[in-house]
Amino acid sequence: MKQFTTVKYGIVFLLLIPVLSLGAGKLKGKIEDAQSKDPLIGANVLLVGTSVGAVSDIYGNYLLPAVAPGKYTVRCSYLGYVLKTAPVTITDGATSEVNFALTADVLEGQEVVISAQAFGQAAAINQQLSSNTIVNVISEQKIKELPDANAAEAIGRLPGVSVVRSGGEASQIMLRGLGENMMTITVDGVKLSPTDANSRGVDLSAIAQSSLSGIEVSKAVTSDMDGEAIAGRVNFVTKIAPEQREIQLNLYGMYNGLDKNTSQYNLIGRYGDRFFDGVMGVQLFGNIEKRDRSSEEYDVSYYEYQKFQYYVSSFGVRYTPETRQREGGKVLLDFKTPDEGILKINGELNRTKRNSHTIFRNYPYSREVNYSFNGQDLTTDIRNVALQGENHLFDWNVNWNLSYTESKNDNPYNFTMNYGEDDGMNGIVPVDYQRSANFLGFISFARNNFQKTSFNTAQAETNSSLDFEKTAFADIKREYNAFNLNGEIKFGGKYRSKYHRRFGQKFQALYYLGNNDCSLVRAADGSIVNKDFAAYGFPANGFAGMAMDGGLILLPNFLSTKTYSVFDKYLLNGITDPNRARAWYEMSKNGVSASGTLEFEPDASSSGSNYNLIENVSSEYIMNTLRYDDLLTLITGVRFEQDANNYNALYSKSAVTAYAAFHDTTAEHTETIVLPNIQAIYKPTNFMNIRAAVYRGINRPDFNLRLPTFFYGKVGDSYNIVSANTKLKNADAWNYEANVQFYGNGVGLLSLSAFYKKINNLVTNLNGVRFTDTNAVKSYDFPVIPNLPLSNLFFWKPYNCPEPTKVWGFELEHQANLRFLPGYLSNIVLGYNITLSKTETFVTDVTYGTVSVFDPQLGFPVDSSYMTIGFRKSRIPSTPEWFGNLSLGYDIGGFSARMSYFYQKRYLNTASSDGYTNYYQKSFSRFDLSLKQELTSMLTVGLNVNNITNLSEGAIQANSVYVWEGETSGYRYGTAAELWLQVTL
């Protein structure tokens, strides 16, 4: 550790060498649109003939804190606007001010007024051009102009970004094919708490866009950003209060095409003002929302009828009505400090409530028909409190932050009912239907005898997770001039402490045994009493079916009168009434038999996954930005991150049974990593930027993977061995980025990026691998449990991949305002992007076989089984190879329209070692439409239509050896529309 500290501070000393002389004067100002007075973000300010420059911030302000005394010409440029210059004299110890009001560029002698969408596009383009790193931006103007359903939907229109949908809306993103655990999600640089029980993902649909001044997606991070960003970083930037009072109300009425549901709404309110001569700003945000996020699905199973000939064995249909309610509030206070800095206080609470139930039934070709019901309530709370300052002390700029973030998931109701129909007369589907995969034909051959359909099992689960994190950081920087060079030295540190907990319980009732009369319950005082059926809406004397068929409970007692057609053609009947199912759960969760047997017995497989942990991460960094004229910018830096984690989990050395006892066990993990970073920007012409970056990043495993937990249980004749891995290392990657930007008032911004990532120690998993060799068990650090038959052991465990994982690809993006076209065509705003991504990783490859071995005792050869363990190349699962977006907008007067198109090529979900059973996600495309009409300066109406063509998604099973494919699932969320009204006072 002492040697590491010496190296660390040696690097710091070397990076401080450029600070040789400091400027003695300051220059500040504000840049705005001459017509609208809106601030221009990302405008470039340069002292002509020097390397001294700055970029306007989200408020349109710029500051040059260290300028040598003298007379200069200040040049201000902003793509899409006329370049302006102004003279200025800098004096020692004084602050000069030069403001710019820029006008739109002139074409063919006509002054052009920047239209609504074009203005938002121009803001995003200029921020990308002026950034010190490779970044994509969604500007505040673009967010406001034609709003998307949530922040994740908006980010999903950027290059390199694909979205993960839940209930038809984007909830998480993938960046260049890498998941949410490979990136950092922040608000004003503060990392958000994850919203999942085990993974590090954040539900972005809970973030209110109305409070944002922009979204930045950094493809190459710098040393002042968290190192946990192999894929990149998403940063949500909040705004300060407007100079003039602003009151805004947005009201949305929505329609869901799947359920024909219009009882949806979204109400968003915003208030902003400044007080005490503009010193204090106050912003209040609030929203309340209710949406229908229902979905429907079918799935198909196959069997191998003859060698490499697959027939349909079962066809299932599923319908999930879901209601999501969101409510949130936010308070933002900002104070202008005497040093021309800003102090911000941010408090935010968002809550999402999800109520859903899933109804399923299958249509098998010749066996028992199965029905199931699952009902769930899930509440997610996200809380953030932050105190942030941007201050100027002497010639130093200090950005500091103290914050607390928290997320909590509560799943108090998760109830599943499973039924089986077996009257000896199940439909047998003719082979012709099986061969043709005519799923509709399966339904016509089905028999439904609900009087012979009874409870098999029921499961009840409760789950909760809690994550909170305390963070403190400070960034300190100073401008300098040395040998006609201009630069900035920046250093700082961060400390964050995280607590994460998962707690769950599971219970199951085995009704198929028929040995529970289901009429008794244990009361709160411990006594056993009769169930009060009438109090829960059931017949006072219970069900007639309870006395039939050995005490079996029949489906008709819970049936709804409804039927449903999945995809408008696949019949779903035998639908359980969700209210009667919930009533049964509430009445029976404490049920007992006359002999004292619990109706719902505990299942230790869930409680064995409970844990809590503390993660402490401290980091320091130093970086230097060196600029030569307006030609070359070189950024060098290094970051040091140290982990000190404590884990508390459950462990069992005995076979897991319903009442198995676990005992606590603990573990620690410490790790230190050095993250060097170098980036360069070269501007050979006034229309071209060349960017390059090389940096090292890390990825921390999901929370449940590094636990000291271990347990095994028996399922049928098989044993499942489940273990986490206390020896897991953080994955780390060398990232190589190259980007070329062509820009101009005609072409807009044309950008081409190439990337290559080499990831070491990527966490992968053994998923149900069957070991038949004791040495193989030992090689993965599983304890060998005596008296267990190896032929029936299946293992689950995460491990670090011994071979490097590689990710590489290209991104093409073009944004343009086509105002150079004649007439009405000049109002077109165009944007498109294409991403190509390739991945290569290694997964465990287990081969089983037999070999003939001579047995000297028997005197002849006998067959002996063997297994070999190796690794084979594979794509990273669930990473699309290529996808793209196209956006075509049009503005005229107060009217705006945008048609958007997204396409994603099919990609591999899972692959078999022999290629016979691969699963792919089908290609997917989607059209969205947004319309807006400004009626008056105070009143605007709009219409958003998502998934206009009602396209579905799905998956397929493929045999790559014999070129066979079969559809395994199809699902859709329907077309959704929202009509909105905005009132601005």
Three-state secondary structure readout of 491-519:
EEEEEEEEEEEEEEEEEEECHHHCCCCCC
pLDDT classification of 334: cutoffs 50, 70, 90: very high
- Spatial separation of the C-alpha atoms in residues 767 and 323, rounded to whole Å: 33
What percentage of the chain's residues is helix, strand, coil (to nearest 5)?
Answer: 10, 60, 30
Q: How remote is the C-alpha of 79 from its chain's centroid?
A: 32
pLDDT of residue 939: 95
223 has a pLDDT exceeding 90: yes
b/e sequence 152-178, b meaning 16+ C-beta within 10 Å:
bbbbbbbbbbbbbbbbbbbbbbbbbbb
Residue 619: left (phi > 0), alpha (psi -120 to 50), or beta? beta
Closest CA to 29 of 277, 72, 246, 19: 72
What's this model's pTM, rounded to 2 decimal places? 0.88
Radius of gyration of the chain (CA): 31
pLDDT of residue 866: 62
665 has a pLDDT exceeding 50: yes
Average pLDDT, the chain: 85
Distances (CA, A) of 327 to 32, 290, 322, 983: 35, 9, 17, 20
The model's pLDDT over 954-977, given as tens digits with 9 standing for 90+, comes to 999 888 777 788 889 999 988 989
DSSP designation for 600: S
The model's pLDDT over 502-545, given as tens digits with 9 standing for 90+, comes to 999 999 888 877 655 678 888 888 888 988 889 998 888 777 55
Lowest mean pLDDT segment, chosen from 441-455, 630-644, 877-891: 441-455
DSSP code string of 526-574: S-EEE--TGGGTS-TT--GGGGSTTTPPBGGGTB-S--EEETTTEEE-S
- Spatial separation of the C-alpha atoms in residues 220 and 227, rounded to whole Å: 11
The model's pLDDT over 65-107, given as tens digits with 9 standing for 90+, comes to 878 888 999 999 998 888 999 999 988 888 899 999 998 875 5
Higher pLDDT, residue 710 or 403: 403
pLDDT of residue 19: 45
pLDDT classification of 373: cutoffs 50, 70, 90: very high
Closest CA to 851 of 834, 864, 833, 837: 864
pLDDT classification of 657: cutoffs 50, 70, 90: low
Query: Which residue is listed with tokens 């997964």?
Result: 843
The arithmetic mean of pLDDT across residues 135-152, rounded, is: 79
The arithmetic mean of pLDDT across residues 915-933, rounded, is: 87
Residues 218 and 225: beta-carbon distance below 8 Å: yes
pLDDT of residue 358: 96
The model's pLDDT over 804-836, given as tens digits with 9 standing for 90+, comes to 999 999 999 999 988 788 888 888 999 999 999
791 CB-near residues (< 8 Å, 6+ apart):
770, 772
Closest CA to 970 of 429, 574, 569, 576: 569
Percent of the chain past pLDDT 70, that is, above it, reads 87
CA dihedral 824, 113, 938, 127 (to 10 degrees): 110
308 has a pLDDT exceeding 80: no
Is residue 467 classed as helix, strand or coil in its secondary structure?
strand
Residues 265 and 252: beta-carbon distance below 8 Å: yes
- Spatial separation of the C-alpha atoms in residues 160 and 174, rounded to whole Å: 8
The model's pLDDT over 729-755, given as tens digits with 9 standing for 90+, comes to 999 999 999 999 999 888 899 999 999
b/e sequence 693-706, b meaning 16+ C-beta within 10 Å:
bebbbbbbbbbbbb
Name the residue type at position 3. Answer: Q
Residues 453 and 20: beta-carbon distance below 8 Å: no
69 CB-near residues (< 8 Å, 6+ apart):
24, 25, 90, 91, 92
Is residue 444 classed as helix, strand or coil in its secondary structure?
helix
53 has a pLDDT exceeding 50: yes
Q: How many CA atoms lie within 13 A of 570 on its CB side?
A: 22
Distances (CA, A) of 444 to 298, 364, 426, 447, 747: 16, 12, 12, 8, 59
